[in-house]
Amino acid sequence: MATNANPYHSQDIVVWPDGGWATLEEVRLGEFAHRSDDYEIVRLEDGDRLRALGLAEQLDIRS
């Protein structure tokens, strides 16, 4: 049975299809309960994906 050796971190980014985003911690705390559960979780260190989503600059990701 495979296990996820690298669970998501509270500062990873949740991105909804409409481009809205929040940290996973904010979502877990219920601050976005009004939003759908149709989202992608992007690891904060995945700069390429965050750039592709147009979020790298907002998150001050440079590399």
How many domains, the chain? 1
Q: Is residue 60 part of a domain?
A: no
User: What is the Cβ-side half-sphere exposure of residue 37, based on CA atoms within 13 angstroms?
Assistant: 2
Q: Is residue 62 part of a domain?
A: no
Place 62 in a pLDDT band, splitting at 50, 70 and 90: confident
Q: Is residue 59 part of a domain?
A: no
Closest CA to 32 of 52, 44, 50, 18: 18
Q: What pLDDT is recorded for position 2? A: 54
Q: Is residue 31 part of a domain?
A: yes
Provide the whole-model pTM: 0.85
β-bridge partners, 21: 15
Q: Is residue 24 part of a domain?
A: yes
pLDDT digits (tens, 9 = 90+) for 17-48: 999 999 999 999 999 999 999 999 999 999 99
Q: Is residue 20 part of a domain?
A: yes
Q: Is residue 23 part of a domain?
A: yes
pLDDT digits (tens, 9 = 90+) for 49-61: 999 999 999 988 8
Q: Is residue 4 part of a domain?
A: no
What is the extent of the structural domain holding 46? 13-52
Q: What pLDDT is recorded for position 12? A: 97
Q: What pLDDT is recorded for position 1? A: 53
- What is the secondary structure of 37-48 as a DSSP string? S--EEE-TT-HH
